[in-house]
Amino acid sequence: MDSIWINAPAKINIGLDVIRRREDGYHEVKMIMQSIRLFDRLTLTKTKEPGIKLTTNLSYLPVNEDNLVYQSAKRLMDEFHLEGGLDIKLDKRIPVAAGMAGGRTDAASWMLAINDLYGLGLSKRHLMKRGVKLGADIPYCILKGTALSEGIGEKLSTIPAMPSCYILIAKPNIHVSTKWVYTNLVLDEHTNHPDIDGMLASMKKRDLSLSNQIGNVLESVTIPAYPQIAAIKDCMLQNGALGSLMSGSGPTVFGIFDDKDKAMAAKEKCRELPYRCFVFVTDLYR
């Protein structure tokens, strides 16, 4: 096998809580992660000429050591002394800097693909141990599906799958710095922490009432700075969403729907907002 392709799914945070800031500067988190059917596609082809050639459909993305796909490729090729080179084509469909782990799911899927392409025989756990060195979200992006993420994001537990539903994604045309959000997050006795344990209990019951429980502590930082996020949430809730939340540090907003027609109608309402948005209706990736 000289060539392989793989889909890299986006993720959303059904629940995101920050427990504390650690002495090393990292934040200890407790999150419920969910993959959705919005994909980037990676195509890998072996070449006789040594080196890594990365191309993308977006001209502004880096194609050198600044790209996580390139970094993860080089690490595995160096570790296993893989001969020849690789031609990597990245077809980007997940919005960039959206709070949906687009770059990290690409790096994770690349590691899965090269494991198959070269027959390295690494388990997912072995790949996850390597991936965490590049980013705390990468182990989850290797695992995929529905998971509880703790520690700095590297401690993962599989949990009951989220009940079937439709997801409306709306990403406004703004950029939010994850570093800025975490730097400005205030954790004190007034912080409104989401009930992650309550969400887990609802998921065990396969109950979409968890839509009323979803929460993201980072909204307390991002929404005051970018009020259009709140407006998008309100639009979804007023048009049939069972619940709506910002994913990650933002700016993407998602809505949970029990009916596809409702989700599609809400999508059109989001298009009418006075903000330029990427909007997309999909379902869960298990």
Q: Report the 3 state secondary structure along 223-277.
A: HHHCCHHHHHHHHHHHCCCCEEEECCCCCCEEEEECCHHHHHHHHHHHHCCCCCE
pLDDT computed for residue 209 by the predictor: 86
> Residue 256 pairs with which residues in a beta bridge?
167, 243
pLDDT computed for residue 4 by the predictor: 95
pLDDT computed for residue 136 by the predictor: 83
Determine whether 234 is an active site residue: no
pLDDT computed for residue 120 by the predictor: 95
pLDDT computed for residue 171 by the predictor: 97
pLDDT computed for residue 181 by the predictor: 95
Give residue for tokens 């540090």: 249
- 106, 137, 144, 262: which one is catalytic? 137
- DSSP strand pairing (253-257 vs 166-172): antiparallel
* Residue ranges for the chain with pLDDT beneath 70: none
Residue range 55-114, pLDDT digits in tens: 999 999 999 889 988 999 889 999 999 999 999 999 999 999 899 999 999 999 999 999
Tokens of 212: 């009323």
Tell me the C-alpha distance between 171 and 249, whole Å.
Answer: 12
- 11, 30, 144, 233: which one is catalytic? 11
pLDDT computed for residue 21 by the predictor: 87
Q: Is the dihedral of CA 175, 108, 133, 248 positive or negative?
A: positive
pLDDT computed for residue 93 by the predictor: 95
Give residue for tokens 């790096």: 107
pLDDT computed for residue 224 by the predictor: 97
Determine whether 233 is an active site residue: no
pLDDT computed for residue 168 by the predictor: 98
Tokens of 240: 């049939």
Tokens of 107: 């790096």
